[in-house]
Every structure is written in C-alpha cells, then in structure tokens.
Amino acid sequence: MLAHPALEKLLQKAYSAERAAAFAYIGHAASLKNPDAKAAVKQIEDDEWKHRENILGLMQRYGVPVSRWYEVRFYLIGKIISASCHVIGRFMPFFFAGKLESGNVCEYFVMMRHFHALGIREHDAMLYEMGMKEKEHEVYFLEQIRKDRLMPLFERLFAWGAGKSANDVDLQDRRRVEESDSYCKSYKSRGAADDVSDERNG
C-alpha cells in the first residue's frame, strides 16, 4: 500500500471518473451529426479508456483498491450525462466537456507530485502524457464553441472558457517532463483542503 492517503484517493477518483467521462463521450458522439466531430469525440473517449487502464495498473502495483462507492457514483454520473447530450443541444455538451477536461489536467500533475513525495519518479512520463492529453481535449472542446453566442455568458457563470482555465498548462510552451510537477500548484492547495474535509466528514 502507498503511505499517502491523498494519492490513494486521487487514484481511486480518477479511475472511476475516467469511465464516467468515457460514457459521457459515447452519448456526446452519438448526438453529433458531423462525421469529423463524431470521430474526434470517439477518439477522446478512447483516450479516457486508456487512461483508466493506466491508472488501474498503478493501483494494482501499489495495492490501492478500487472504490465501489466511486465506481457506482461515477457510473451513474456518466450515464446521466451521456443521455442528456441528446436533449440539451450542441453547445452545452462541448462546453461542460471542456470545463471537465480543464480540471482533469491537474489530476495527473498532482499525482506526479504525490509520487515524488514518496521518492517515486518512474511514472513521470506516463502521468505527463495523460495530463497533456487532457489539455488537448480541453483545447479541442473550446475550439468547437469559442465563437458561440452563449460562450460569454457561460464563461462568466462557470469560470471556464477562452480566458479562463482550471490549469496553467500551455500546449504551445510546454515544460519538460522533469519540470512539469510545477504545474497546477494552486490545485494542490485546493485538493489538500478537500482531503482534510473528507477525512473530517468520514
């Protein structure tokens, strides 16, 4: 077992949330008419399944159990979002997918820092690749709706859009793998606060 409760919890959450995201993208792709958009969202779905597989490998290696609670919770969330994509129009599935991916980026760089705290660096390349892939997803979804008339309103309401992101990763000016654990420093504080809150409530 990992002697790092925050890392264990993050692995468990990410593992289950990746399936929820994949389910959501199944519904999202099915709701689209444009063949290119369908293919792009299908590829993103495939990426999420791959990430789930990678995380499971880490969990098995370090004896971290799959959380039944997270599996049920995120299963239901994914299925609900998948179904809703058929009735909420084109804009909102792209917008909320982009906002979701924006937050997901940091999960992998925070994982990297947690592993570093244990003196483990062998997973850096994989975690870096997954974090960057999530950033690519965020950028893709943003580009599909950047000029939509609803974008200014939703950006103000939900704090994500052309001028706002939940991470500080820039695909045009990427830090090297060796420097990438410096990404998402503010996310670390927020995650630590959540962990403390969860422990108190648990």
Tens-place pLDDT, residues 46-84: 999 999 999 999 999 999 999 999 999 999 999 999 999
Instruction: Judge whether residue 191 has pLDDT over 60.
Output: no
- Taking residues 123-141, report their average pLDDT: 97
Given a contact cutoff of 8 angstroms between Cβ atoms, the answer to whether 66 and 12 are in contact is yes
Range of the domain at 15: 5-201
Q: Write down the pLDDT at residue 190.
A: 39
The burial of 148, by beta-carbon neighbours within 10 Å (0-12 exposed, 13-18 middle, 19 or more buried), is given as middle
Sign of CA dihedral 178, 16, 63, 7: positive
Buried b (16+ CB within 10 A) or exposed e, 101-118: bbbbbbbbbbbbbbbeee
- % of the chain exceeding 70 in pLDDT: 92
Q: What is the pTM of this model?
A: 0.89
SS3 (DSSP) at 1: coil
Q: Write down the pLDDT at residue 185.
A: 86
Confidence of residue 181 (pLDDT cuts 50, 70, 90): confident
CA–CA dist 175, 190 (Å, integer): 22
Q: How far is CA 168 from CA 27, 36, 92, 159, in A?
A: 29, 29, 23, 14
Number of domains in the chain: 1
Given a contact cutoff of 8 angstroms between Cβ atoms, the answer to whether 192 and 3 are in contact is no
The CATH number covering residue 123 comes to 1.20.1260
Tens-place pLDDT, residues 6-33: 999 999 999 999 999 999 999 999 999 9
